[in-house]
Amino acid sequence: MNKLKLHTHISEIEREAWKNLLDNSPYASFFQSPQCYEFYASLSFMQPFVFAVSEDDVLKGLVCGYIIADGGMIKRYFSRRAIIPGGLLLAEDISDDALTLLLNHTKKELKHKAIYIEIRNYKDYSTHKEILEINHFLYKQHLNFHVKTYDVDSCIKQLSSTKRRDIRVALRNGAEIVQLKGEKELREYHKILHELYTTKIKLPLFPYEFFEKLTKNDWAKVFGVKYEGKIIGGSTCVFLKDKIIYEWFVCGLDGRFKNIYSSTLATWAAIEYAASNGYKYFDMMGAGKPNEGYGVREFKSKFGGELVEHGRLLHITKPFMYTIGKKVIEYLKGRKK
pLDDT tens across 92-111, in order?
999 999 999 999 999 999 99
CA distance 288 to 299: 12
Tell me which residue of 89, 140, 119 sits closest to 311, measured CA to CA.
Answer: 140
Domain that holds residue 123: 4-142+311-336
- Do 120 and 259 lie in one domain? The reply is no
- Do 59 and 184 lie in one domain? The reply is no
- Do 149 and 255 lie in one domain? The reply is yes
- Do 113 and 185 lie in one domain? The reply is no
Number of domains in the chain: 2
Model confidence at 294: pLDDT above 90:
no
pTM greater than 0.75 = yes
- Do 77 and 118 lie in one domain? The reply is yes
Query: What would the mean pLDDT of 120-145 be, rounded to a whole number?
Result: 97
Query: What would the mean pLDDT of 249-259 be, rounded to a whole number?
Result: 95
- Do 243 and 297 lie in one domain? The reply is yes
- Which residue type does 280 have? K
CA distance 166 to 239: 26
CA distance 214 to 43: 10
Model confidence at 1: pLDDT above 70:
no
- Do 262 and 332 lie in one domain? The reply is no
- Do 207 and 293 lie in one domain? The reply is yes
CA distance 187 to 208: 7
CATH assignment of the domain containing 45:
3.40.630.30
Quick one: pLDDT at residue 83?
Answer: 98
- Do 182 and 284 lie in one domain? The reply is yes
For 209-234, what is each residue's pLDDT tens digit? 999 999 999 999 999 999 999 999 99
- Do 301 and 152 lie in one domain? The reply is yes
Q: What are phi and psi of 222, to 5 degrees?
A: -115, 110
Highest averaged pLDDT of the listed ranges 129-133, 197-201, 293-297:
129-133
- Do 319 and 187 lie in one domain? The reply is no
CA distance 118 to 108: 15
Quick one: pLDDT at residue 295?
Answer: 80
Quick one: pLDDT at residue 335?
Answer: 62
Tell me which residue of 246, 248, 240 sits closest to 219, measured CA to CA.
Answer: 240
Q: Tell me if 72 sits within 8 A of 25, measured CB to CB.
A: no
- Do 292 and 240 lie in one domain? The reply is yes
Quick one: pLDDT at residue 2?
Answer: 79
